[in-house]
Structure 1
Amino acid sequence: MGESSQKSSGKSKFKTLAHLIDALAEEGRKTAINALRKDDERQISRSRLREKVHQTAAALVESGVSKGQAVVLWAENSPQWIIACLAILRSGGRVVPLDVQLDRKALERILEDCDPVLLVTNAALHDRLKELSCDIPRTLFLDHEDSKDEDSLWSLQGGADLPEIGADDEATMFYTSGTTGPPKGVPLTHGNLIFQINRILATDLTRPDDRVLLPLPLHHVYPFVIGMFLPLAAKIPIILPYAMTGPQILRALRQAQVSVICGVPRLYRALYDAINQRIGNKSERLARIFTCLVQECARINQKVGWNPGKALFYPLRRRLGPHLRLLASGGSPLAPEMARFFEGLGWQVAIGYGLTETAPLLTLNPPDSGRYDSVGKAISGVQLKLDLDKGENEGEGEVLALGPNVFRGYYKMEEKSKEAFTSEGWFRTGDLGSIDDQGYLRLSGRASTLIVTESGKNINPEEVEEAYSQSSAIKEIGVLEDEGHLVALIVPETSDEEDQREHIKQALEEVAKDLPSYWQVTDFSLTSRSLPRTRLGKIRRHLLEEQYHKAQSGEKQQESKGAMALEDMSGEDRSLLVNSAARAVWDWLVERYAEKGLTPDTRLQGDLGIDSLEWLTVTVEVGERTGIELEEEVIAEVETVRDLLERVAAEEEEGSAGFSGEPLENPEEALSDEQKRWLQPGGAVMGFLRKTLYALNRLVVKNYFHVEVAGLENLPEGHFVLAPNHLSNLDAPVIAAILPKKALENTWWGGWTGAVFDNFLLKTLSHVANVVPVDPRRAVISSLAFGCEVLRHERNLVWFPEGQRSPDGQLRPFKAGIGMVLSRYPAPVVPVSIDGTFEVLPRGKFWPRRGRIRVVFGTARNPEEIGDAEETSQERAKKIARQLQEDVEGL
């Protein structure tokens, strides 16, 4: 057997978690918890935290909680959660933290298993308790600390003495996440947990001025120990983000001056992908240069101990988190390329490995070790060795552990507990790995999830999944064994391929060229639903086989029968729907698209057919149900239902509120103060500039081009709308040059944001020329509100219904937006045909050439005569747009 161990160094600082809690009085004025709220933040000092914990603990003892009794804590992260947890521990109780996203069956099983005397939760989860068929213990709520209600945790009274607590007393019981089967209860003692804290303190991983971001749910042992107790022991603040969303985590990084993140690989994968995507969107060449520079900085740092990336990439790090220095990763191994990437950018990376049963850490890979193919060496006081009989390759075996952090056995599971230990008392981790001469442990997979092929090859599915995930065509992949063969369940990146299965097959074959032959997937099934995962992102492999065969046999997993049930969603998606705004939008989508088999991965355009007009309906409904208007950049980034829900949740958490009511009836309410400024004609100076600009434009157009005009007499006497086809950037200047001066002075133009608002000069000229920003693909509400406001004030409006220039000179379908505007604010609308500008100034050309241009004004139409009064506004809008398109075609 291979073996690794390190001698214990230093004396234990704390004897129990109770000792640590009592020590909060030291440096009591320092901040213990900084919780960001919607508009502000709440800070709790160490002394105040200790006072509150002792007061609540004494009340719990008075109410009947005694040493060793289980108290379930079932709520999202919050200062109240931390106070309640510490109070339960200090009262001598055994805290049982549970995931708020547990399905009903799992929750019932755990409540029956752990025999709790008390359940502490929040009011938002109360309705779910009513659904349970098991006995529910006395329930107390922790929502409002000033509440005097009898069912509030904070209303408990009493000053009972707090018990003496020893290292052998049970402190917590975690339930394993169930990646390979039902959850098992894992009791951990004060001694198990305090050993970890003392050992990590001795590594000097943290600094006195650090501030630790805790974005992970505290029902997992890793954030519980490393994210909560370690900062308390090190006398540094815990930073709680307002919500577990990207915008709120970024807000916490900046506003709370975070220097350390307690994260998991899935969180860092999102950061890694976001940075690379942002760089890649600028240019492929820049992306290649960026990647090379990052890799070179990491290499130099490993070679000479100096990292040029700290200076070179400081602007990037400053934008994300100016004080951030250390990324701590646990839960599962961090991909080596990601660790090197973050190191190259100038951050430090620390990697830990362990299990719930080991409270949690067994190894630590400190910053700048350079051994990112490893999870590090055994922490001081822990011994590791390998059972080589369980390994397939030379020097590989099952990792066995021995130390004060290892639990005693599973709760009420005598047989499982015996299986978990060798006859000599070593804990079987179930992980396969190898240990080198320097003591570094390299993991190669879980023994329980290894796939054995017909040829006898042992395959780690995580390694295979990582390899195939590099394909841009694959969003998610879960690898499993089927009748001795390697197969996969795949979530494609896009759902609008003509022959999706053939596309994925080609992607797999392309990746497989560089893989061992026994890693090649022989068959696969496609699904639009996310793979089943735990809250920390691990695939729940015992559920993969059923989903694979359902997809393989052609079943759509209820996709044609209705929306995806909440219990079938991933924990991450269920957590998202805890947000009231996101839930309101989900419920509306389920109702509206009842026959579409809605899932979080459903594509809004490809699967639901949401075009620019339908976007108006969506954004109006979101506004009416949540008070939120989705801005231009938000809508542009939304592709799936999940994207939409995440953005709605983020906007709601940031306190973003839009208009109230129907934007076409109250267009002014749908515009911000900055947007309203585009509609102001300006004073005398602006008027002079506008006349000068129009005169210069008229002079250039008439002398540089040969312009033929027909039908100008069709322009109505009052205000009107022009609906021209759109071929070139010259279209608007040509129309401006031939309109009568009186009409021109009262004319406003809808200008596509991607063309005429692209830089400062164009923005300035647009403002002078009465151009308002329009983008029918993204800012639907604001765009239409601009048009409505122009017509409401009886001004002329030039609106290009195609939305943007034709790429080939052919007339494109008219967007229904013009129909929405005209159906609400009727005005005579004149179809206009422009010919020649495509040849004179095609796309991609900056300077026009001389040529012939022809403009024909058709007969004005009354939009009130188009369509039926009984039709819906959407149907009527589409009819108006179609009629105008036919009119332009006829010209």
Structure 2
Amino acid sequence: MPDNPGNAMLEENLVETFGASLRNHWPASCFSDLGGSAISYGDVANRIFRLHHIFDRLGMERGDRVALVGRNTVNWAVTYLATVSYGAVIVPILPDFTPGEIEHLVRHSGAKLMVAAPGIFDGLDPEHMEPLQGVFGLLDMGLIWHRNTSLPGIVKGADTGYVEQFRDRLSRETLTFGALGGDTLAAIVYTSGTTGFSKGVMLTHNALMANVQHFSVCVELKAEDRIVSFLPLAHAFGCSFDFLAPFACGCHVVFVEQIPSPKILVAAFEEHRPVVVMSVPLIIEKIYRNRIRPIIETPRMRTMLKIPGLNRFLRAKLRDKIYEVFGGNYRELVIGGAALNREVEAFFRLIGLNITCGYGMTECGPLISYTVSADQPPLGSVGRMIPHLECRIHRPDPATGIGEVHVRGENVMLGYYRDEEATSAAIDPDGWLYTGDLGHLDDEGFLYLTGRCKNMILSASGQNIYPEEIESRINNLPCVEESLVIDHGGKLVALVYPDLEAMDRACLKDRQMQELMETNRQQLNEDLPSYARISEMRIMFEEFEKTPTRKIKRTLYTAAT
């Protein structure tokens, strides 16, 4: 296997990288909200220093926490940059958490300040969030609640006060931030756990810098490139690659605050023509299932696709159509956050789209492995390990090579905030992080994932069954939106939530739907080994309950059976 410099020291500094980007791109457009005007890198610098002035006057010290809850906006990004460059710790919280969960996370983190979307703050009781000193509204950064009586005066004088305090650093030539070591805590990111309370992942400046550096180089981000940021910034995937990496390279980031419906996204892509598109499998798979497969599976199209020459022409037309959906300018379509369906990935590659899958987890800020499409990663792989990170497969199966993926290196978390027990269970004394994911490495160092350790099912004959692999196949069957494979009394049962739009188009009633699912089951089982065949497809009439990051809460359904 090729060597990977997993133990190499990271030379770049995150805050110095932020400062250099502000200086180098001072007049260029930096951030804008979708439909709004852009602010320059120089404007962002001034907004950062205004917040530094408020932090300083309030007596905030390095390591103090600032909670940030709301959807993607310019003010979200500025708050994040100001907090981290001050030496404080940002606590980004997904807006999809319940009010009770948000209050708990603010208390648990010990946040001193909070910046929140007004609609979210209206449902919170700040008296339940000690030691919180004040809350700013994300819409206009105005003070909307305070416990500290000096805070209103500090905020009132901030517009002139920051200029006076930082006058020697407010130009392109003189801008600097205080020195912060790479091992400084930068963020506490709360996971949306599927089995209980969220855990606070502690990420250092180096953990973020390792992600920013690798992604920026891989996709060749350049000054004034445009990015449409629609993945949740409170999630490590969206934050690192839709925001921090583009900012470090001088790009113009357009934030989509609305819930990203297909209509909103297509219009945003058409207007801003991003050079890189970050996506989760759900979006790509829906495009394939609802827009493409109905076309290519018609008898006429099947016949034409078998004709040499004509099939190349048709594939090129499909490629161009999909390319235009994403703005017609992207160099790379990057899929992360979950596994992409193998059939979907194979089709997009067949027609020539630049699409690649990466692998990561919040505990690595998030990237673990990624390889750009130009380097031709094998189908089904999630790329090679990123620099500054090494990987081992723990206790691999002698027949398959599959074992638990362990990683160690610069971007692995410090641990879980205020949870030594969970930290000890996740990271061993030698620094190896137990990811909980199952996979194997090939001879070229490419990683392939098969599922989660805790989800693996042991058959009566002793065979390992990976339900995610079966679910991936089920989700491509007619009229299936999503599925969950569980062990019920020694037999495999597939819980299926149907694609309601497809049902309506086909005018299917309840009995017809049952018959279709039985046909799906039989078709699926023809391609599965005997020990992994599905005994029943059970239709679910309500969508699976999910975490704020849209992962199915498996334990709810396995426990119910």
**TM-score class normalised by the smaller sequence:** 0.7 to 0.9
Q: Is the 8 A contact 1:108 1:132 kept in 2?
A: no
Q: Is the 8 A contact 2:66 2:112 kept in 1?
A: yes
* 3-state secondary structure, aligned to 2:415: coil
Q: Is the 8 A contact 1:396 1:432 kept in 2?
A: yes
Q: How far does the alpha carbon of each residue in 1:54-109 deviate from its partner, in whole angstroms, 9 at most, with x for none?
A: 22122222223221112110111111111111111122211111111112443343
Matches within 5 A, 1:203-222: 203-208=218-223, 210-222=225-237
- 2:72 counterpart of 1:77: yes
Against the structure 1 CA distance between its residues 215 and 538, is the aligned structure 2 distance closer, same or farther, given a 3 Å change threshold? same
Against the structure 1 CA distance between its residues 534 and 290, is the aligned structure 2 distance closer, same or farther, given a 3 Å change threshold? farther
Rounded to whole Å, the distance in 1 between the matches of 2:240 and 2:467 is 29
Q: Is the 8 A contact 1:22 1:50 kept in 2?
A: no
Rounded to whole Å, the distance in 2 between the matches of 1:18 and 1:260 is 25
Query: Alignment identity in percent?
Result: 25
When the two structures are aligned, how many residues end up with a matched partner? 532
* 3-state secondary structure, aligned to 1:428: strand
Q: Is the 8 A contact 1:213 1:238 kept in 2?
A: yes
- 2:101 counterpart of 1:86: no
- AA of the residue aligned to 2:388: G
Q: How far does the alpha carbon of each residue in 1:175-216 deviate from its partner, in whole angstroms, 9 at most, with x for none?
A: 112134432110101111112222333335434563222210
- 2:292 counterpart of 1:276: yes
- AA of the residue aligned to 1:31: S
- 2:472 counterpart of 1:469: no
Rounded to whole Å, the distance in 2 between the matches of 1:197 and 1:265 is 22
- AA of the residue aligned to 1:74: V
- 2:265 counterpart of 1:254: no
Aligned to 2:391: 384
Tell me which of 502, 514, 527 is aligned to 2:527.
514
Offset of residue 317 of structure 1: 3.0
Rounded to whole Å, the distance in 2 between the matches of 1:85 and 1:295 is 51
Aligned to 2:173: none
Aligned to 1:228: 243
Matches within 5 A, 1:443-842: 443-493=449-499, 494=503, 496-498=509-511, 500-546=513-559, 548-549=560-561
Rounded to whole Å, the distance in 1 between the matches of 2:314 and 2:275 is 19
Aligned to 1:410: 416
Aligned to 2:98: 103
Against the structure 1 CA distance between its residues 448 and 51, is the aligned structure 2 distance closer, same or farther, given a 3 Å change threshold? same
Against the structure 1 CA distance between its residues 497 and 33, is the aligned structure 2 distance closer, same or farther, given a 3 Å change threshold? same
Q: How far does the alpha carbon of each residue in 1:736-756 deviate from its partner, in whole angstroms, 9 at most, with x for none?
A: xxxxxxxxxxxxxxxxxxxxx
Rounded to whole Å, the distance in 1 between the matches of 2:489 and 2:532 is 15
Q: Is the 8 A contact 2:357 2:383 kept in 1?
A: yes
- 2:114 counterpart of 1:114: no
* 3-state secondary structure, aligned to 1:116: coil
TM-score (norm 2): 0.85
* 3-state secondary structure, aligned to 1:444: strand
Offset of residue 538 of structure 1: 2.7
* 3-state secondary structure, aligned to 1:165: coil
Rounded to whole Å, the distance in 2 between the matches of 1:392 and 1:173 is 39
Structure of larger gyration radius: 1
Offset of residue 345 of structure 1: 4.0
Q: Is the 8 A contact 1:213 1:241 kept in 2?
A: yes
Aligned to 1:432: 438
Q: Is the 8 A contact 2:29 2:252 kept in 1?
A: yes
Rounded to whole Å, the distance in 2 between the matches of 1:293 and 1:99 is 50
Rounded to whole Å, the distance in 1 between the matches of 2:213 and 2:27 is 23
- AA of the residue aligned to 2:387: S
* 3-state secondary structure, aligned to 2:416: coil
- 2:404 counterpart of 1:374: no
Against the structure 1 CA distance between its residues 326 and 308, is the aligned structure 2 distance closer, same or farther, given a 3 Å change threshold? farther
Q: How far does the alpha carbon of each residue in 1:295-314 deviate from its partner, in whole angstroms, 9 at most, with x for none?
A: 976xxxxxxxxx99667843
Q: How far does the alpha carbon of each residue in 1:641-665 deviate from its partner, in whole angstroms, 9 at most, with x for none?
A: xxxxxxxxxxxxxxxxxxxxxxxxx
Offset of residue 335 of structure 1: 2.8
Rounded to whole Å, the distance in 2 between the matches of 1:270 and 1:113 is 37
Give the number of the structure with larger relative contact order, counting CA–CA contacts within 8 Å between residues 6 or more apart.
2
Rounded to whole Å, the distance in 1 between the matches of 2:558 and 2:462 is 21
Offset of residue 156 of structure 1: 6.9
Tell me which of 32, 36, 42 is aligned to 1:47.
42
Rounded to whole Å, the distance in 2 between the matches of 1:358 and 1:74 is 21
Q: Is the 8 A contact 1:231 1:237 kept in 2?
A: yes
Offset of residue 334 of structure 1: 2.3
Q: Is the 8 A contact 2:492 2:533 kept in 1?
A: yes
Aligned to 1:58: 53
TM-score (norm 1): 0.55
Rounded to whole Å, the distance in 2 between the matches of 1:9 and 1:204 is 23
Against the structure 1 CA distance between its residues 426 and 4, is the aligned structure 2 distance closer, same or farther, given a 3 Å change threshold? farther
- AA of the residue aligned to 2:357: I
Rounded to whole Å, the distance in 2 between the matches of 1:393 and 1:16 is 43
Offset of residue 539 of structure 1: 2.0
Offset of residue 235 of structure 1: 1.3
Q: How far does the alpha carbon of each residue in 1:531-550 deviate from its partner, in whole angstroms, 9 at most, with x for none?
A: 1233444322222235x54x
Aligned to 1:887: none
Aligned to 1:267: 283
- 2:181 counterpart of 1:166: yes
Tell me which of 346, 351, 359 is aligned to 1:353.
359
Q: Is the 8 A contact 2:456 2:467 kept in 1?
A: yes
Aligned to 1:617: none
Against the structure 1 CA distance between its residues 287 and 96, is the aligned structure 2 distance closer, same or farther, given a 3 Å change threshold? farther
Q: How far does the alpha carbon of each residue in 1:804-836 deviate from its partner, in whole angstroms, 9 at most, with x for none?
A: xxxxxxxxxxxxxxxxxxxxxxxxxxxxxxxxx
Q: Is the 8 A contact 2:545 2:552 kept in 1?
A: yes
Q: Is the 8 A contact 2:10 2:206 kept in 1?
A: no
Against the structure 1 CA distance between its residues 34 and 270, is the aligned structure 2 distance closer, same or farther, given a 3 Å change threshold? farther
Rounded to whole Å, the distance in 1 between the matches of 2:538 and 2:126 is 35
Rounded to whole Å, the distance in 2 between the matches of 1:16 and 1:241 is 25
Rounded to whole Å, the distance in 1 between the matches of 2:380 and 2:464 is 20
Offset of residue 418 of structure 1: 1.4
Q: Is the 8 A contact 1:214 1:241 kept in 2?
A: yes
Q: Is the 8 A contact 1:532 1:544 kept in 2?
A: no
Q: Is the 8 A contact 1:468 1:474 kept in 2?
A: yes
Rounded to whole Å, the distance in 1 between the matches of 2:558 and 2:320 is 46
- AA of the residue aligned to 1:509: Q
Q: Is the 8 A contact 1:492 1:504 kept in 2?
A: no
Aligned to 1:26: 24
* 3-state secondary structure, aligned to 2:122: helix
Rounded to whole Å, the distance in 2 between the matches of 1:346 and 1:513 is 30
Offset of residue 170 of structure 1: 0.6
Against the structure 1 CA distance between its residues 184 and 313, is the aligned structure 2 distance closer, same or farther, given a 3 Å change threshold? closer
Aligned to 1:873: none
Q: Is the 8 A contact 2:17 2:248 kept in 1?
A: no
- AA of the residue aligned to 2:383: G
Rounded to whole Å, the distance in 2 between the matches of 1:311 and 1:280 is 12
Aligned to 1:175: 190
Aligned to 1:365: 371
Q: Is the 8 A contact 2:83 2:90 kept in 1?
A: yes
Against the structure 1 CA distance between its residues 5 and 128, is the aligned structure 2 distance closer, same or farther, given a 3 Å change threshold? farther
Offset of residue 384 of structure 1: 0.9
Rounded to whole Å, the distance in 1 between the matches of 2:515 and 2:52 is 62
Q: Is the 8 A contact 1:452 1:484 kept in 2?
A: no
* 3-state secondary structure, aligned to 2:76: helix
- AA of the residue aligned to 1:355: M
Q: How far does the alpha carbon of each residue in 1:231-275 deviate from its partner, in whole angstroms, 9 at most, with x for none?
A: 011111212235311111111111112221111111221232343
- AA of the residue aligned to 2:558: E
